[in-house]
Chains A and B, each alone.
Chain A
Amino acid sequence: MGKVKKKIKTIRIDVDKCNGCRACEMICSAFHAKPRYSSNNPERSRIRVMRDPLRDVYVPVYAGEYTAAECAGRDQYVIDGKEYDACGFCRSSCPSRSLFKEPDSGLPLKCDMCEDDPALEKPLCVQWCINDALIYEEREEEVEEETKPGEMEIGLESLADKYGLQKVMETVARMSKKD
């Protein structure tokens, strides 16, 4: 496989500019509702503001990759005299916290930069953050060409993560015999 150019989309977060309004949470969940905008619920949002107003902690974090295991050491950071939990900056959906999980199914949520069909030019959370705590950025990177796994493969992989590959194979085999 060769190298290819890939457009990387990111959101730069300026915690100093966050006014704590949580519009990003609201609009994210509304955009991803089916039908679109038919409901909203910050609990389903793929971006969350870690807020502790009295201690002046405001950290918007958007959901990254699912991680099957929780990480080892969890550190405390003190920045400008304010204490932050390492989880407070972490974008993973992981077993150690309820964040970035679809509340009904428990399945992990991940930010898709509002690329749902039709894709938006900029993620909606960025558009609704007119205080510029969230800034959309694009850059190009050379990456290894990869074959994108299909939806079924992703699904099977998460089942394998949860139950083990052996059990999945056994189940498929048993199901196929039923017919």
Chain B
Amino acid sequence: MEIDLSRGSIERVETDPKLTELHLGGLGTNAKILWDRVPPETDPFSPDNLLIFGTGLLCGTPAPGCNRTMLSTLSPQTRLMAFSMMGGFWAPELKYAGYDKVIIRGKSPKLVYLWIHNDKVEIRDASHLRGKGAVETQDILRRELKEPKAQVAAIGLAGENRVYFASIEQGRSSASRQGLGAVMGDKGLKAIAVRGTKDVNVARPAEFMELCNEVMKYIQFREANPVPGVIPILGRLGSPQEMAIHDEKWHTENFMWGNARTRRKDFWTDDIHKAWTATMDSVRTRLISCYNCPIKCGATISVPGHSTYMMKCFSKLTYVMAAFSDLDFGFKIASRATEYGVDGYSTPQVMAFALELYEAGILTDDDFPGMPADTEGRFYWLLDRIVRREGIGDILANGTHWAALAIGKGAEAYAHNNIKKHEQLPLKLSMLNPIYFLMYCTGEKMNITQIEGQFPQAPFPTMEEREAFVKDWFQVPDDRYKQYFLDWEIRGERSNPYYPTVDISVDIVDWQEKMHYIDDALGLCAGLSSFHLKPPYHIHNIPKLIAAGAGIDMDEAKLTQITKRNRTLVRAVNIGRGLRRADEKPPEDHWKKRFPELEEKLLDAYYKFKGWDPDGIPTKETLAELGLSYVAKDFEAKGIIKNG
């Protein structure tokens, strides 16, 4: 469905089955639409930029955990193709209303919201929602529309004010990364409410159900048998089970505090464990799930005196650690931040960055008039100003990269934890890991959790443990991956950074990346699929699910080819917008021990494996082989690919 907010037009356009065969859905078809319709010189805040809400191909079918909405636009922060997604209930509801995508273009002169109720679609006035919280807005609209079952995706004040790291919130989920909320706010769109009561069909019902039943059975098996030898959050399915666990020794002692600087090796004591457990138990009302998924990755959080909200994953700790504070503070500030609608990764880091600049004297008292003296108070103070773009908040609202450029005076050195202008998880490690090096550098999705998975993050100490691990590892596309893992040692010749070797690293990364691109086309949650070791969804059952569900003839080879096409097309959009090899690097200080020569070799090999030139640009031959000759033609015309 196409909505032009400048003209106020609503147009229903049939999904092209040919495009579905070529790209499946979700991210794949989003990328195709962006390539076709948004010229590379388009400013993210231009009316010509599109904001696409795309459901995955199998959303709304009985496939467990297949509920993701893939959102695509051009990011104001990275200036590249923004890629963010949300779980929850929105995508299935849109499918039940009879649509695959909502494509927003133009800009509304007044703040509006969109109400989709099956065939009835209306652009409605939202002036009464201006300044309202993202969670609050969802509640107001459900009451106003008298549709308690409507699913609402909404922005808060941050999105309205085009904060570069504004999120789009929806129930227990959000699309937070790369500033999609800012683009939504720029378009004058406060929310999209959806209610659908139509049927979703599958092509070959009996076959499809049998596959779904197998997935459910394997989920139950994995719940009863966590993977041994890895940290608990990787051993259990789902998004990291941050809402369920109390033990935060690993995160608090291995991730960095403040502006991604300080490691606190002896932080986790018995007293803290007790205090944090009590805090969590006092505010966590219930563990909750997304649509049609038994894994409980989220929680309802009710802190007395603060508005109730739903939280998932690592935002539990990001504010806590950025402010050197405790869990109680984290839950409280996250309540306000969720209503404002901001990314839980970037936001705390931006605030810690500001305070570091203040301590360094680069920013002064004049920049912070009336700021409280305590760190917690300062965080609230900064948050309030960022989402309103007041004073220094107006500069900080553009994220650390752009803020540092605007501030100057050496501030750039403090925006040290970015890749492609985007804040990353506060991880600082010792020895370079070649697999992670490649994922960080070349990932188009900007968030490591949306690239990593399948293959263990580190070698296992003993051969017995490794053998036990590979024994029931049927998810591998080929047995050679088992050998890679068996051979991987903690120390010695076969250890990081030279093992996995350059070629093996590329091979592993290709598998990891492939599984994510498949999930993002189908709407599968990475928590049941690509993010995990030994997941219920894998390269062997997914083609069958596509065939039985969507009636598209599919096998592993064909699916691999489609995935390659989608991955290359996302690349092409970004190449068109200027992305080159020089941009593909991890934060300087991500690893202490770096190996420049090896790193160059890794990138060379990865590009070559993908069929790209040494600058990371897909070659004419590669594009032709993937049916993307129209991209090659465009690149030739622009001189991006040199003729002959």
Contact = CB atoms under 8 A, between A and B. Distances in A.
Contacts of B291: 21-22, 26
A58 to B, nearest CB: 7
Contacts of B202: 37-39
Contact of A56 (B60, B64, B285): B285
Contact of B292 (A22, A36, A39, A53): A22
A42 B149 CA distance: 11
Given A54-B308, A130-B216, A40 B286 contact: no
Contacts of B293: 21, 23
Contacts of A41: 96, 197-200
Interface in A33-90: 33, 35-44, 51-56, 58
A37 B294 contact: no
A19 B299 CA distance: 9
A40 B135 contact: no
Interface string B171-202: 11000000000000000000000000111111
Contacts of A22: 89, 291-292
B209 interface: yes
A109 to B, nearest CB: 14
Nearest to A82: B285
Interface string A103-122: 10000000000000000000
A140 B591 CA distance: 67
B344 interface: no
14 contacts: A19-B287, A19-B294, A22-B292, A23-B293, A26-B292, A37-B208, A38-B201, A40-B62, A42-B96, A43-B96, A44-B199, A53-B171, A55-B308, A130-B294
A136 interface: no
Contacts of B292: 21-23, 26
Contact of A21 (B206, B289, B300): B289
Given A33-B199, A43-B96, A53-B171, 14 more contacts: A19-B296, A21-B291, A26-B291, A26-B292, A35-B205, A38-B205, A39-B199, A39-B201, A41-B197, A53-B288, A54-B139, A55-B308, A129-B294, A130-B294
Given A20-B288, A40-B200, A130-B220, A27 B62 contact: yes
A37 B209 contact: yes
Nearest to A54: B308
Interface in B278-324: 285-294, 296, 300, 302, 308-310
Contacts of A21: 289-294
- The 4 A-B residue pairs with the shortest CB-CB distance, nearest first, are A37-B205, A43-B197, A39-B199, A21-B289
B296 A26 contact: no
Contacts of A19: 286-289, 294, 296
A131 B293 CA distance: 10
Given A20-B289, A37-B206, A53 B310 contact: yes
A53 B300 contact: yes
A125 to B, nearest CB: 12
B219 interface: yes
Contacts of B302: 56
A82 to B, nearest CB: 10
A21 B65 CA distance: 9
The listed residue with most A CB atoms (<10 A of its CB), out of B62, B200, B294, B309, is: B62
Contacts of B198: 41, 43
A34 to B, nearest CB: 10
A30 B208 CA distance: 11
Given A36-B205, A56-B300, A30 B62 contact: yes
A103 B220 CA distance: 34
Contacts of B309: 54
Contacts of A128: 216, 294
B243 to A, nearest CB: 11
A48 to B, nearest CB: 9
Interface in A120-152: 128-131
B84 interface: no
Given A42-B96, A130-B216, A130-B219, A58 B286 contact: yes
B148 interface: yes
B161 interface: no
Contact of A37 (B62, B149, B216, B287): B62
Nearest to B171: A53
B72 interface: no
Nearest to B93: A42
Contacts of A43: 96, 197-198
Nearest to B300: A56
B202 to A, nearest CB: 7
Contacts of A38: 201-202, 205
Contacts of B61: 40
Contacts of A35: 205
B288 to A, nearest CB: 5
